[in-house]
A and B are shown apart, each in its own frame.
Chain A
Amino acid sequence: MTLPRAYEDQLVERAKQDADAFGELYDHYFGQIYRFVCSRLHDQDSAEDVTSEVFFKALRAIGRYKPSGHPFSAWLYQISVNAINDHYRSRRPVSSLDAAIAVADPQRPVAERVVDSAEAARVWAAIDELPAQQRTAMTLKLGEDLKLAQIGRIMGKSEGAVKLLIHRGMIGVRQRLNVTAAVHEEA
């Protein structure tokens, strides 16, 4: 549920001094942040670790938070993106495109395979093969429904640059899925 902006601003101000207010912010945003982190890491233990890190970092930094015209969640996503990048720098991702396509039925068109939710989760892993900036933009847009402007704020890019990242990312996903499916068909 989206908090009314005026209420959220008041809540954030209180959370700078009031632990319960911070707890209320956590209650509202835990689900979103956990889902975003999990969709990028695909591993429960890692997702829990990084989600913990995000909220502890937010607690540490909330005194310096200033409203920017974007929802408070944009700030949390920004911390999440950095935490996920740190995580990737320290280890390789668990999922890979090979694992994703290994279970996909090459006889079916891409769109049809995607609608099968069991496969969809694995097809989503194709996003992990994209360059880091593309996969971040793709996940924030397709996984979290954020506005392009918010994604730009989170990634420190212009709205136009975000559009370009998503467009290229989508082409990359389509190419990867089609190429791999074709390889399977030939085999």
Chain B
Amino acid sequence: MDPELEDLFRDDPSLGETARLLRAARPDPEPDQHFRNRLRVQLVAEAQRSLRPRGLRRWLRVGPGHLAWAGAALGTAAIAATAVALFSTHVVDHQTVTAYSTIAARHAVSPSDVITVAFNQPMNHARVEGGLHIEPATQVTTTWKGNDLVITPLHHLAGNTPYTVTIVKPALVAASGATAAKPLQISFGTAPTPPPAPAAAPPPALQLADLGAVAGGSSVLFAPDGAVVSTAGYPPATASSPSPGATARPTPTAVSSPTTSPPPGSSSSPALLEYGATGSSTSLGPAATAAGFAPGGASLAAAVSDGSGGSEIILSQADGTQSHVLVDSRAPIVALTWATGGTIVYATSSSIASVDLAGATHQLATPAGNVVELAPGGAYAYLAPSGGQSGQLLDINAGSSRALNGATDGVAFSGDGSTVAWVSTAGAQPTLVTEPVGRDASASVSVPDPGAGITSLALNHDGTAIAYTLTPDTGVAKLVVAQLPSGTPSAIGPATSSAVFSPRGDALALLTASSGGMEAQRGSIPGSAPASTTAIPVGANSTLRAFVDAQARGDSATLTPLTASGVDAAARTPSRLSRSYVVDAVVQSDGSVKASVELIVDPTTSASAQIADETLTLSTAGPGQPYLVTGLEVTPLHDESSGPHVVNVSRTATHAGFIVQISFDSDLNPLTVPGAFSVVTADGTQLMPEIAYNPDSRTAVVTLPRASTGRLTLTVGSALRDVNGQAIASAFHTQVLAG
């Protein structure tokens, strides 16, 4: 809640509660975009006149064209007296071409948006289209809707990228012959969607392993060692129990969620069950409504029925031993997550609280809606739709919430809690949408069969992959695993009622329907095994992302605890940044991680994009200790060069060989891609990799031969051209540790 309101109503909590609820449910009217565009065009046209030296006198002069324009602007509906009086004092003529775009000056445009330019009069279409230029180079199609030019990128906009759309002055010619006073320049930036990671081949099938029968209402999760756990699995009659020394706890007789009968050969009572690699299973405790492993994996928390309508949170070792009751809740617990190694956040349908390992609880929120899910880390919660409105995303610490447009079903959070995905039913057909939890900047994800039903969403740890079940009107439902933000499918599998990514993103835990009921399965994603030699430790990756995001926000309070003493990150970070992104991160021989980062100030109408190149070093003091930024080198801000820029490098070991994917901000000329890449070994031997270009994600996929080993240098040379013929400003080099 607003601290000032909290303070104001400290002595009268009921008033504070009413204020909080009113604030949470405040109206959020959606303005008519046509009105917004028209008013913008009128204001800028008027400003061009009135802001001149003699301008103020012009306010009182009535020009011949104003009534027609004002009439068109306001429509034929009843016009309020104030508006008539207002517009009758303004001169709006068609002697000068003016234009406006709703996305101008915005910093979080959805990559799936189109660019609309609204003109104040009918234009010469061919002349305008001929003068259109977009930086970074982007292939587009153009259409006209009345006086509006609609520019549609062929392969969507790149995420987290500053754009400048220019229409040169000689091309700004109206149908009447009127011209513009100066070129049109629209600057904006796109939302920070995860970097693209396309598939190099048609999607293969998941490699499935059956694990065992589960009760209805069960969910699945991954244990720290990669084993799948179901919250209500049926143990086989011979299932092993927790090790000796475990505190014996009876399985509750009334578990609310399981609804199906046990299959033949199974124990009669479902349990929190871990499936081993050899087909065995181990009971970790009684069946749970929610469960989660602590960061680091040493402890397990599970919410179980207390047999009288409420829930208990049972804390144990990861193997289910040494369990004890941490919390007894009178209401059923619907979700829990570990906020830190010592704090658990849990939710009933109407309340969110935290508990430490000593059992001390703290009320965090009583949201205005039913809690359905908690984001990993416990900073956000998803509240069910009510009253015909969309579901809400609640910022638990701030006490504020915002609608997830069109969300009528469940959501999925990424494992790091930074991204949320849902299915929007606001449009004519369901749309898969992702959004950073901290920003209202949604991005649509393309699916193979538009119009098909989309259910059972899952996001991987860092929001770079999504899984969902696609149910077409006719045909067989299937599970699709896809890269984000492109939506490119990377694997397919059986339809599921629930899916969860493994922490490393190389497998899914699934619940599928079988003839005997529900079954847990493990599905390995072919070709997605991370390269163990170069994979960035999760802790380093988490620190790196949080640090770079905080730099973009200018959030020194967040930077400080992520930085080693002696490194003044706040002072060395350029001010007024619009965005930032990690281009590349490589594990060094000493175990530290070196990352290349770009820090960007978006362009404006009077200044081009500014960029600073940063190199960060992240190190840890030892096992179990957090990674901190121990080194920071950053250049001064400078104008961004023209031509394509590398925005992301990723490395993956697959059955086909070692793959390096290099993504760009520009649409590339595909003919120039093969000749622009070279790979040499440490002794200077030139390798001959396979190179493919995926225009949808603007990514070059370099596949090194399986025999390649050692430290290699991959270079992107100046032969590379974008679709406008511009060369990469300077050669790009990166190290690859293959084999």
Binding site for B on A (CB under 8 A): 1, 4, 6-7, 14-24, 26-28, 30-31, 34-35, 38-39, 44-53, 55-56, 59-60, 63, 86-87, 90, 110-111, 114-121, 123-124, 141-143, 145, 147-148, 163, 166-167, 170-171, 173-174
Contact = CB atoms under 8 A, between A and B. Distances in A.
A120 B25 contact: yes
Given A1-B108, A52-B39, A114-B18, A143 B27 contact: yes
B81 A22 contact: no
Contact of B8 (A21, A47, A124, A163): A163
Question: A-B pairs with the 9 shortest C-beta distances?
Answer: A120-B25, A19-B47, A115-B368, A49-B83, A116-B387, A38-B29, A117-B389, A49-B80, A19-B48
B387 A142 contact: no
B360 interface: no
Interface string B1-27: 010110011000011011101111111
A19 B28 CA distance: 29
Contacts of B5: 141-142, 166
B27 A121 contact: yes
Contact of A171 (B15, B40, B105): B15
Contacts of B554: 4
Interface string B25-50: 11111011001100110111111101
Contacts of A163: 8
A38 B8 CA distance: 26
B466 interface: no
B693 interface: no
Nearest to A147: B4
Contact of B82 (A15, A22, A59, A87): A87
A60 B39 contact: no
A186 B227 CA distance: 61
A29 B606 CA distance: 19
B671 interface: no
A134 to B, nearest CB: 13
B86 A49 contact: yes
A20 B92 CA distance: 17
B43 A23 contact: yes
A141 B23 CA distance: 9
Contacts of A147: 4
A9 B389 CA distance: 39
B90 interface: yes
Interface string B55-96: 010010000000000000000011111110011001000000
Interface core residue of A14, A23, A87, A173 (most chain B CB under 10 Å): A23
A123 B22 contact: yes
A145 B386 CA distance: 24
B316 to A, nearest CB: 37
Given A51-B39, A123-B25, 13 more contacts: A4-B575, A16-B51, A19-B48, A21-B605, A26-B44, A27-B106, A50-B82, A52-B83, A115-B25, A116-B387, A117-B386, A124-B27, A143-B27
A16 B8 CA distance: 39
A99 B576 CA distance: 47
A23 B47 contact: yes
B100 interface: yes
Nearest to A177: B18
A147 B25 CA distance: 19
A168 B106 CA distance: 39
Given A4-B576, A59-B50, A115-B386, A38 B27 contact: yes
Nearest to A56: B86
Contact of A173 (B8, B18, B25, B45): B18
A6 B363 CA distance: 39
Given A22-B44, A23-B43, A53 B605 contact: no
A23 B44 contact: yes
Interface residues of B, number: 64
B265 interface: no
Interface core residue of B36, B46, B51, B104 (most chain A CB under 10 Å): B51
A56 B576 contact: no
A110 B81 CA distance: 38
Interface of B: 2, 4-5, 8-9, 14-15, 17-19, 21-29, 31-32, 35-36, 39-40, 42-48, 50-51, 56, 59, 77-83, 86-87, 90, 100, 104-108, 368-369, 386-389, 554, 575-576, 604-606
Contacts of B14: 174
A145 B36 CA distance: 23
Contacts of A18: 51, 606
B44 to A, nearest CB: 5
Given A39-B26, A45-B78, A50-B82, A110 B18 contact: yes
14 contacts: A16-B51, A19-B47, A22-B51, A23-B47, A24-B105, A39-B29, A44-B32, A46-B80, A48-B35, A115-B24, A117-B25, A120-B22, A121-B27, A124-B27
A116 B78 CA distance: 32
A49 B38 CA distance: 12
B31 A59 contact: no
B21 A111 contact: yes
A53 B22 contact: no
Given A7-B576, A23-B104, A115-B368, A48 B28 contact: no
B104 A27 contact: yes
B734 to A, nearest CB: 33
A145 B105 CA distance: 23
A116 B86 contact: no
Contact of B29 (A34, A52, A142): A34
A84 B591 CA distance: 63
B605 A55 contact: no
Given A20-B606, A116-B387, A173-B18, A30 B27 contact: no
A174 B605 contact: no
B77 A45 contact: yes
Contacts of A27: 40, 104-106
A86 B82 contact: yes
Contact of A22 (B47, B79, B369): B47
Contacts of A31: 31
A35 B29 contact: yes
B5 to A, nearest CB: 7
Contacts of A51: 39
B556 to A, nearest CB: 14
A36 to B, nearest CB: 10
Contacts of A59: 43, 46-47, 50
A21 B82 CA distance: 26
A90 B18 CA distance: 32
Contact of B44 (A16, A19, A30): A19
Nearest to A50: B82
Contacts of A4: 554, 575-576
Contact of B86 (A45, A52, A166, A171): A52
A45 B80 contact: yes
A22 B9 contact: no
Given A39-B27, A39-B29, A118 B86 contact: no
A142 B22 contact: yes
Contacts of B82: 49-50, 53, 86-87, 90
Contacts of B87: 52
B90 to A, nearest CB: 7
Contacts of B2: 141, 145
